[in-house]
Amino acid sequence: MTERSATSSEASALVIAAGDKAGMEGIDRTKIDEIILRESGDSAYMKQQRKRDQSVNEKIDQMRVKLEEKDRASSNWRRSIESELEPELRRLMASRKRRSTCVVVDMDMFYFACEALTRPELKDKPACVGGGMILTSNYCARKFGVRSAMAGWIGDKLVSELSAGKERLIHVPSNFHLYTEKSLQVRHVLAQYDPGLKAYSLDEAYLDLGPYVALSLKGFTHEQIQNELKKANEVSDDDADHLVVELEDEAHGLLGDESLDAFPQSVAIEATASIVRKMREQVCEATGGLTCSAGVANNFMLAKIASDRNKPDGQCVVGPFHEDVLNFLHPLPTRKVPGIGRVTEKTLHAFGIATVEDLYTNRALVNFLFKPATGGFLLRASVGCTCSHESNEGNSGGRKGISRERTFQSGRPWTEVNTRLEDIARKLSDDMSIKNLWAQTTTVKVKLDTFDVLSRSKTVKGMYLQKPEDLAKLASEMLHDLKKEHKGTSFSVRLLGVRCSNFQGEEQRLDSTQTSIQKFLTTNNESNEKSLSNNVSSANTPPCPAPRRVPPKKETPRMDSIQPPSPHMIQVCCPMCQQPIEGGNDNVVLNRHIDSCLNSSTVRAAVKEESVAARQSKKPRLTDFFGKK
DNA sequence: ATACATACC
DNA sequence: TACTGGTATGTAT
């Protein structure tokens, strides 16, 4: 009730990072929570968390009121909603895939495991990657409640207190070069099983093993299968549309789901499980000892959940039948479902919904309480018929926005804050120029001392922005507005961010089609002028200078903006982000660019882009994994 | 369209 | 002392 009386149980609801997702079952959470609360309960961060918790509570109260009203007005409304949902449920069931060939591969404590390769002595001591913020902890540290996204100093406290001073948490600084290298090794193996795999992050990949399993059951060797898969994948990457359609049908006949129909369910399942086992062994070999876990199911949501089940170094197969799916899914707490986070879990809990089965039995209530998008998502989740909604679908492969943000010491003089904003705008401009993005909308984000987050955005009509000056000017104006309009205290800034979105259509991009690593390696190293990454944007010749009137959408780019692939002016592409690098002939520029790509999220985004691009021409066998909408 | 909240790794 | 960064999407207004 009172502001200060944050009891442990109250806190563990939302404020304290509970043992929710992985690996922390069966540890003494009471003690851990107590320490975390004692150490950080008064911090601005925790105060903000409590504030958020409070607003969630208010929202829940409003929902309660809404429910009470409904109950007063009618006694039988649940029944009628249930029958309304009936057709949708039937549709979902009917569209369920009949084979479990979706695989999610998740590396075990990836960053830490990479570091432990060269420092095996870290394995049996509590250790983590990351200093101020913990990125990954090993299982030893997890026993003490140390987990990713935790502040480093809290991790220290937990370990030293819970070990009675006998142990210290070891921090290893992060090395994204290493993780990227290892991630590429992993993907190289996985691509042998599905060349069209999707990599969501450095440590997680989604595969469809349908074609591989089918060919394997037909007696093909690993090498033969690879050839077939490669052929099929190249086909769907081909631009010649008519050719794609024709050949896809052929490939579909050979590789599609129905080619598995010839085999009994149990045979296919066994084959898939053993292929996944082999694949995981191969990952371990190729990386010099990194282990991974895998989940297998008939859609990616279930596969994702399953990948967590037997972690570390384990796998879990969920059969495709209704009973298989529900036996696996229904006992789980709702939080296990990707897309259900802390807030949704707490909200559901407030209405007596703790497990996925509750979600199903209370589907009428859920449908009534939540907005259509969320309600629909929860309904699909309750019967295991959706993949996590963040695994995008039909988004034409293009990114929606790009941003940069940085945390720094708060309470700096206003002029310095402004300088920071300009730096960030300049970095963002560089990123955009590398990716050749031009945006109509700019958003500035401010996090205050209090951890309150404010944002302001502006879209300019008929104009596309990229230049650092333009971004900085807009962002700066908005920041000043925010400061001016901010009621209350101090406006002491701890984080600044700039985001651009609403991009110019992709079609008028000048696109050198060179994207492969081979091209990167074989490009000439003749250096032309060009300088450092800060100058990239000015060195770059934009498709249209900004700010300026937009050319009509159909207009082709000005010829002088296109760099013809003359022998000594070949576009160099980054092996990570696959984007052409202006001035990339210069090794300094190149290395700086690659460094910037090694920023984790940039890589993540790039990896994603690449795999999305690989799938751009849709393969029929994939459509119903992400189907819905 | 804009602001803010939730989620993911 | 001390609690990230980047992206997408949903909801409210």
Phi first, then psi: what are they for A496, rounded to 5°?
-125, 145
Lowest model confidence (mean pLDDT) among A10-19, A258-267, A582-591, A605-614: A605-614
Amino acid A536 CA to nucleotide C1 C1' distance, rounded Å: 38
pLDDT of A426 above 90? yes
Asked whether residue A453, judged by its CB, lies under 7 Å from any atom of the DNA or RNA strand B, the reply is yes
Cβ A134 vs Cβ A16: under 8 Å: no
Q: Which nucleotide is nearest to A389 (CA to C1')?
A: C9
Answer yes or no: is pLDDT of A365 > 90: yes
Q: If you average pLDDT over residues A73-89, what whole number do you get? A: 95
More confident residue, A244 or A214: A214
- Distance (Å, whole) CA A7 – CA A5: 6
Nucleotide nearest the Cα atom of A431 (by C1'): C6
Query: What is the predicted pLDDT for the residue at A13?
Result: 55
- The 10s digit of each residue's pLDDT in A492-530 is 999 999 999 999 875 544 433 222 222 222 222 222 222
Instruction: Calculate the angstrom distance between C1' of C1 and CA of A312.
Output: 36
Give whole-number Cα distances, A152 to A49, A170, A291, in Å: 18, 10, 25
Enter the pTM of the model.
Answer: 0.80
Query: Residue A342: is it exposed, middle or buried by C-beta count within 10 angstroms (0-12/13-18/19+)?
Result: middle
Which residues are within 8 A (CB) of A108 and not within 5 positions of it... i.e. 6 or more apart?
A290, A291, A292, A293, A311, A312, A313
Kindly tell me if the per-residue pLDDT of A533 is higher than 80. no
Return the higher-pLDDT residue of A620 and A367.
A367
Active site residue A204: yes
The answer to whether residue A389 scores a pLDDT higher than 50 is: no
| Strand B footprint nucleotides (protein C-beta < 7 Å) | 1-9
- Checking if the pLDDT of A139 tops 50, the result is yes
The separation, in Å, between residue A520 CA and nucleotide C9 C1' comes to: 35
What value does the mean pLDDT take over residues A226-241? 74
| Gap between the Cα atoms of A192 and A228, Å rounded | 11
Q: Which residue of the set A204, A228, A345, A582 is catalytic?
A: A204
- Report the C-alpha gap between A190 and A229 in whole angstroms: 12
Residue A601 contacts strand C, CB under 7 A: yes
pLDDT for position A394: 40
Q: What are A395-416's pLDDT values in tens digits? A: 445 889 999 999 999 999 999 9
- pLDDT at residue A252 tops 90: no
Higher pLDDT, A592 or A334: A334
**Nearest residue to A515 via CA among A596, A582, A581, A431:** A581
Distance A527 CA to B8 C1' (A): 41
Measured from Cα to the C1' atom, the residue closest to C3 is A151
Least confident of A143-147, A491-495, A612-616, A623-627: A623-627
The answer to whether some atom of strand B lies closer than 7 Å to the beta carbon of A251 is no
Using the structure, give the distance in angstroms from the CA atom of A419 to the C1' atom of C11, rounded to a whole number.
34
* Contact criterion met (CB below 8 Å) for A350 and A401: no
Q: Are A575 and A583 in contact (CB under 8 A)?
A: no
**Mean per-residue pLDDT, A357-383:** 97
Burial letters A538-559, b for 16+ CB under 10 A, else e = ebbebbbebbeebeeeeeebee
- Three-state DSSP at A588 gives helix
Residue A194: what pLDDT? Answer: 97
Q: Which nucleotide is nearest to A405 (CA to C1')?
A: C5
Q: Which SS3 state, helix, strand or coil, does residue A406 take?
A: strand
Q: How confident is the model at residue A17 (pLDDT cuts 50, 70, 90)?
A: low
Chain C footprint positions (protein CB, under 7 Å): 2-12
The whole-number pLDDT of residue A298 equals 96
Question: What is the structure's pLDDT at A512?
Answer: 32
DSSP A150-175: SBHHHHHHHHHHHTTTS--PEEE---
Per DSSP, which regions of A213-282 are E strands? none
The Cα–Cα gap between A387 and A384 comes to 8
Please give the mean pLDDT across all residues of chain A.
Answer: 78
Q: Is the CB of A272 under 7 A from strand B?
A: no
Closest C-alpha to A250, from A263, A232, A264: A232
Annotate A36-103 with three-state secondary structure: HHHHHCCCHHHHHHHHHHHHHHHHHHHHHHHHHHHHHHCCCHHHHHHHHHHHHHHHHHHCCCCCCCEE
Distance separating alpha carbons of residues A285 and A300, to the nearest angstrom: 26
User: For chain A, what is the largest distance between any 2 Cα atoms, rounded to a whole number of angstroms?
Assistant: 79
> Which of A406, A403, A455 has its CA nearest to residue A429?
A403
Report the run of H or E that residue A626 belongs to, with start and end.
none
Give the closest nucleotide to A461 (alpha carbon vs C1').
Answer: B1
Residue A522 confidence (pLDDT)? 23
Helix (H) / strand (E) element for A292: namely strand A292-297
Q: Tokens at residue A72, please? A: 């007063």
DSSP codes joined into one string, A502-570: EEPPGGG-------SHHHHHHS-----S---GGGHHHHS--SS-SSSBPPPTTPPPPGGGS----GGGP
Measured in angstroms, what separates residue A605's CA from nucleotide C6's C1'? 8
Reported as type and span, the H/E element at residue A382 is helix A372-382
At A513 the pLDDT is 28
Distance CA A514, CA A494 (A): 41
